[in-house]
Amino acid sequence: MRQYFISFSIIFCSILSCDELPVKDKLTQDFEILHVDFKKWHSYHYQNIILSTNFKAIDDSNDKISKEAFLKLLRSGEYITLKLEQYDSEITYKLFKLNEASDETIKKSIKIYSSIAYAHFKFEGKKFPDFHFTTLDGTNYTNENVKGHFLIVKCWFINCKPCIAEFPELNELVDVYKYEKDIIFVSLALDQNDALRTFLQNNTFNYETVGLQTSFIKESLKVSSFPTHFIIDKNGIVVKVVNNVKELKIGLKNLIESDNLGDINNKNESMPGRDYHRRFKVG
């Protein structure tokens, strides 16, 4: 009888080892690997964490908290965040507290990333500052004449390599929406107009470009990292502020879906719906 019991125990333990670990244990194991290795953490964070998106926030005590409270804790540099497995459509991030064994570079990096994310988050829901832009081709844009349009704004400068590297993806995005009359793509650059004209002759960029915007970018928009993208709704309210095309696509997709839902609820059949998923893949 004892021999059978031992055999059964071995089989039972073997079966358990083949199953996936509970979510909590899996996250703990992930944390133990990530918090001591900057390269592994950075790769995980880049692939899994999007702080600009709408997510359910869980602190290190497993309590649900607001996104603002979550970002405040994260920008202290004392935590990293891991993504919980999704059992529904809601994205969930959980905080894990760093310790003395944690890589110091991780602490410094997460403090920078999350501080930028927090500043962007605090811009959401605010009115986009008053402006009067004149593009390189002489088109004028103001707060008044863009009402009723989505305004997508990119802040950049010629010597910013990441800014230039995303041109092809942004050109593709503009092409996707070229028949949409209610979306305006404008880029604000720090550089002189003549320098921009020369540069853009050899570097195709399909946004309408406005030069000499150092004061507006740094003082009115408080931009400190480049590139930075603003998504503004039809009422001139900032919906999202992001730093890359991936997050720009997600934010724009969500805004358009929300706008289409509003059209349906208002029974406004005069505006054709947009089949975003058919025409453009996000991710």
The domain spans of the chain are 21-123, 132-279
Task: Give per-residue pLDDT as tens, 46-77.
Answer: 999 999 999 999 999 999 999 999 999 999 99
pLDDT for the residue numbered 9: 42
DSSP letter string, 61-87 = TS-EE-HHHHHHHHTTTSEEEEEPPPS
What pLDDT is stored for residue 19 in this prediction? 45
Q: What is the pTM of this model?
A: 0.82
Burial of 41 (0-12, 13-18, 19+ CB in 10 A): buried
- In words, the CATH class of domain 132-279 is alpha beta
- Mean of pLDDT values over 197-211: 98
Give the model confidence (pLDDT) of 106-126 as tens digits. Answer: 999 999 999 999 999 999 999
Mean pLDDT of the chain: 86
Cα separation, 120 vs 124, in Å, equals: 7
